[in-house]
Amino acid sequence: MTPSIMIVSLIFVGISMLVSFALKSKIRKYSQTPLRSGFSGKEIAERMLRENGITDVQVVPAQGFLSDHYNPTTKTIALSQDIYEGRNIAAAAVAAHECGHAVQHATAYTWLQLRSKLVPAVQVSSSLVQWVLLAGIFMINTFPSLLLGGIILFGVTTLFSLITLPVEFDASKRALAWLDRTDITTAEEHPQAKDALKWAAMTYVVAAVASIVTLVQYILIYQGRSRD
């Protein structure tokens, strides 16, 4: 890894840590704000699924903080224990967001389908990219094509990060629209749910930007060697 790439990586690690800290702080804050409707995360998720005509997805508890996710393969929405049992704004926002992914799946949302198709390629590239790029930097004068291979692998993961953005933003949009037209959140609670999801989305934005910047740097290194 070159000094410039290392510096940029450290900068984005710092930014990512700050955003992650802000997200955790927001989730903890809104976890302490009771939901006036009194619904739990599990009840909210099941209701949103039901009202969207989805009957083949189960809502199950999961271990870990912010481990919430939708699994399209097993058709399950896994909610961390605090979200699953919570009767607060954070639980409402997160549960509805994960249901947003289930709705995307049920309606064949284009960006979600595209991301799902990329998963096998991303799994392969993620396991190889660091080693190929490292070897490519060390052997750039004798075997520059190796760095090009690393750039292609890194490009796959960058593309995945970019495609993830509309998927996450759309899931939050669906969640907030549904919360707004139901009795789950009040007019005062809705902006707080929106704020929680905004910071969750920011983690994906930072990851995507960091990936793009790093990819560009590797491309410039390769182009510089090619000109030599």
Query: 51 an active-site residue?
Result: no
Which residues are CB-contacts of 70 (< 8 A; sequence separation ≥ 6)? Answer: 57, 76, 77, 78, 98, 99, 101, 102, 105
The catalytic residue among 43, 98, 168, 189 is 98
Per the CB < 8 A criterion, the answer to whether 66 and 15 are in contact is: no
3-state secondary structure of 137: helix
Six token digits for residue 93: 């926002």
Torsion of CA 13, 11, 167, 131, to 10 degrees: -70
| Residues classed as catalytic | 98
